Amino acid sequence: MNINSYQKFIEAVKNTRILRARKNFLFTFGNTRLPYVLVANSLINSGNCVIRKGEVVVDKPQIIISNDSAIFEGFDIDQSLIDLDQVKFALMSRGFSFPQMNYKNSTQNLEVVSDKLETVIERQMNEFEDANDSRVGLIACQEETWNLSLLHYVLTQVIRSSTSNMQEYLERYPLG
């Protein structure tokens, strides 16, 4: 197993700040759209900030799962730098498993602005408040691991929703 892939993922998680998460749980019986804004300091121009806006579609949960059945599309993970299958294996060996779902990312807008990170964060938070939008997540991360930070955000939303999803399922399909 390539432990470096797992270490890179953990390092990305440590450097990820989920500043604003989706307020509602993921849907139990349908697909959920997770719009996001990722902000990071630019690797190229010091003092600039990179803003990525996009959306991850999380397919509805499946009841019958196998441990390695999650499919991630559009996360632009360079297989020469990190092996996502190794990250999944390392997490599973620590008691975490990915629900059988498809996770499809599409980045819709990439912008570089000449503002400091905290200024961009404050501006984004104000825009969310003005629009009264509770669906969009705001994540601050390192530019070189934005994709792993986005993956971390999505997985936190899946975990946060799991109890509610199971309750809804049992209400619709009671045992016995």
Retrieve residue 69's tokens: 């059945």
pLDDT of residue 40: 98
Are 114 and 144 within 8 A, CB to CB? no
Cα radius of gyration rounded to whole Å, the chain = 17
pLDDT of residue 129: 92
pLDDT of residue 66: 47
pLDDT of residue 155: 87
Residue type, 81: L
pLDDT of residue 162: 77
Q: What is the pLDDT along the chain (176 residues), one digit of tens a residue?
A: 445 878 888 999 999 999 999 988 887 788 889 999 999 999 999 999 999 999 999 887 654 444 455 666 777 766 666 666 666 555 554 445 555 567 789 989 999 999 999 999 999 999 999 999 899 999 999 999 999 999 999 988 888 887 777 787 778 877 76
pLDDT of residue 25: 82
State the total domains in the chain.
1
Are 54 and 104 within 8 A, CB to CB? no
Residue numbers of the domain that contains 155: 3-172
Measured in whole angstroms, how far is the alpha carbon of residue 3 from the centre of its chain? 22
Classified as helix, coil or strand, 73 is strand
153: Cβ contacts below 8 Å, ≥ 6 apart: 16, 18, 21, 34, 36, 137, 139
For 101-143, give the DSSP string: -EEEEEEEEEEEESS-HHHHHHHHHHHHHHHT--S-EEEEEEG
What is the Cα–Cα distance from 81 to 33, expressed in whole angstroms?
Answer: 28
pLDDT of residue 102: 76
pLDDT of residue 39: 98
